[in-house]
Every structure is written in C-alpha cells, then in structure tokens.
Amino acid sequence: MAHFADDFEFLDQHTKVIKLQNSSGASVLLAPAWQGRVMTSSYDAETGPSFGWINRKLISGGIRPIEEVAGTLEEKIYVFGGEERFWLGPEGGQFSYYFAPKATFDFENWSTPPTIDTEAFQVEEKSSLHALFSHSAILTNQSGFTFNMGFSRRVDLLSNEKIAENLSITLDEGIKAVGYQTDNKITNQGDNAWTSETGMPSIWMLGMYSPSPETTIVIPIEEAEGEKVNDKYFGAIPDDYLRTTDTHVFMKGDGTRRGKIGISPERTKEIAASYDANGKVLTIVTYTPQPAPHGFVNSMWELQEDPFCGDVINAYNDGSPEPGAPPLGPFYELESSSPAAALKPNETITHKQQTYHLHATEKILDKLSKQLLGVGIAEVKAAF
C-alpha cells in the first residue's frame, strides 16, 4: 500500500491539491481539477498509508488534446483514480448520460461526460477541515433530452469523536481512524421539469481503492422479496468471485475480473464495506437515507422496461472490459446513489455519503465488524 505523504507529494507536483487535516493527524486530499474528488486519505498524514487508488501513470501524462487520445481509453474516460468522486446516474438505458442519443449500449459507444471527467469544479470555500466546490453543465441523455444542471459538493473531514458518534462505536486507543462526509447537490437550472418521460438524473458517489488478493467486499442485506443481488451489469459473476447468503453479499476486491453488483432499495442496510486482511483495514461506506418517491435510476446497459427500478448500493471489481484489453486500473469500488431527481426548475436534490477507514488488530476489528456489519472478520476472510 502506498504512503499518504508520497501520494501528497506526487499529486502536488501535477495538480492543485487541497489538504484537509485534523488535530489527530488524519488527512484528506482533494483535487478541484477533478470535480473536487477525494483522491486519498489517511489516519496519519506523516507516516500513514494512503487509502485511495491513484493512477500515477495517467496523471503524469496529463490531459491531452482530443486528437492525441483518439482510439485510447482517455477518449472515453480519464481514470485519475480517487477514493470518492462525484458522478451522475444512470450509466446505461435510454436516459443514460454516457451514450449519445440512440447509440447502442456497448463499450465502443460508452464515454464519460467531460463535466464529471476533465472539467474542474470551482473552489467556493476552504478551511483546514472542509472545502466547498461548485460547477454547472448542460448534458444530453441517450433519448435526446437536455438538462441544465448546477452542482455543489462539500467535503468535511471528521474528528474521531464524530466518527464514533456516526457509527455508534467506541474508538479506543488501539484504533486508528480517518473519516469524512461529502454533501453533494444537483440543481435544475433549466426551464423544464425533470420527469419520468425526460429522464431523471441521480447523484452517484464512487470510491476507488487499491485491490489485493486479500481484500473482500462485504455488504449486509435485508430480508425482502426479489433477488438478493444484481450481478448482471457486465455478465453473471462466477461463484469464486461472488458469494451470497441470506444476510450478506461477499465479493472479491482483487482487481482481476471485471464485475459489478447492485443492492436494491428494499435490500439495503445503508452500509457497504471491505476488509483488507493484509493491511488490517476495515473500510466502511454509509449514506444518509431519504425518501425516494420516484425510485432509483437503472444503470443497466440496455433499453429498459423500468428505468427507475435501479440499485442504491453498488460494488465493482475491475478487470479487462473486453477480450484483449487491459483493465481500467485495476481497482475496486464501493458506491452509493441518491434517488432519481424529479426536480422542477430551481429545485435541488442532496446526497450525503460517509467514508471511514479503521485500522487495528484483527481482534478489535472483529468486534467492530460484528457490530457494524453483522459478520465477523474470520467469516469475511473465509468467503473465498
């Protein structure tokens, strides 16, 4: 695992970085040029590990003119990395922002809108503990409807006391922790309402982390009707990469096979996690729930019968996107989404996500895992 201080030095050489740091030494690095994303974090800014996956090779090369990236991955997306980035849903379907009007749903036609790829967000405020960003853009979805959007994103570095309060845990001396919350907003800046006929966007938070053979994603699920997990985004995932019980979904986070899963609103417990057995790090991602009268957007890469029956939590394990192609990273992701934004002009939707990294002995982490996830570390490690 990389060191936070080394990643800070590297990023500072290639882009403007905002460093948040609290009295306990925990720190977060933000990149305004890349939508105010959290590039990485650590519980110790001087000697601690770096928890975000950072694409050093790509960042070193910078953003190149469009004629130079023709036929390369950068023509579709600049995979800068970062452990929490601001994105928009849906990714697939007739209301997707990643496919041109009437385009077919395959990787050849997929590309990321510049506003969530290469365009900078403006810094509105910053202090040692928070930063506020803004941006605006006009986007067209696969059905040809145009959206005038305003964006706001605030990142707050949390104290250990706030982490303990949020998670309802005790942070004793044996636990090293870093946590932050992001408050993300979309505003309808146009003249027309966003409806089920035009499509409705969602706020989509994605965190990219370094994979390893000893990393396991674990997501608790509620008892409910319907499938326990949606694993059909990029084709069914084999049993040696995905295991499901009545109470939990386990997935490898090793970055060797591309696969994505989704948890429905009926199944969610509003928490997802991963455990790195080598580094003894428990990563927890939560979000603040809110009513969803219009459902959640469906990101499946197909024309959809129900575009608003999508997932609220997703996890992704990177790998080759098509035969013979290299992986995007590799990395793995934990993700959450807001409800579909049925906004009238000047209305706003908000999505708050919290990310925590907890480092301790396995005995201590086992207690925390049982408390937060309802499963012990031994069972997580034995999933595969």
pLDDT tens-digit readout, 144-165? 999 999 999 999 999 999 999 9
For 95, 141, 144, 252, the CA distances from 197, given in Å and listed in that order, are: 9, 12, 11, 38
Task: List the one residue out of 77, 33, 38 whose CA is nearest residue 329.
Answer: 77
Measured between alpha carbons, how far is 267 from 311 in angstroms, rounded to an integer?
9
Q: Is position 76 within any domain?
A: yes
Average pLDDT over the chain, rounded to whole?
Answer: 96
pTM surpassing 0.85?
A: yes
For the chain, the farthest-separated pair of C-alpha atoms sits apart, in whole angstroms, at 57
Residue 320 scores a pLDDT above 90: no
166-169-171 Cα angle (round to 5): 105
In the chain, % of residues over pLDDT 90: 94
Q: What is the extent of the structural domain holding 148?
A: 64-381
Q: Is position 33 within any domain?
A: no
- The mean pLDDT of 48-63, rounded to a whole number, is 96
**pLDDT band with cut points at 50, 70 and 90 for residue 321:** confident
Cβ distance 86 to 71 under 8 Å? no
Q: Is position 30 within any domain?
A: no
Q: Is position 13 within any domain?
A: no
Q: Is position 36 within any domain?
A: no
For 20, the 3-state DSSP assignment is: strand
Q: Is position 79 within any domain?
A: yes
- The mean pLDDT of 277-300, rounded to a whole number, is 97
- Tally the domains of the chain: 1
Residue 1 scores a pLDDT above 90: no
Residue burial 172-204, b: 16+ Cβ < 10 Å; e: rest? eeebbbbbbbbbbbbbbbbeeebeeebbbbbbb
Element (H, E) at 56: helix 56-61
Q: Is position 49 within any domain?
A: no
Residue 48 scores a pLDDT above 90: yes
Q: Give residue-wise pLDDT tens across range 341-379.
A: 999 999 999 999 999 999 999 999 999 999 999 999 999
CATH number of the domain within which 334 lies? 2.70.98
Q: Is position 51 within any domain?
A: no
Computed on alpha carbons and rounded to an integer, the radius of gyration of the chain in Å comes to 20
In the chain, % of residues over pLDDT 70: 100
**pLDDT band with cut points at 50, 70 and 90 for residue 328:** confident
For 74, the 3-state DSSP assignment is: helix
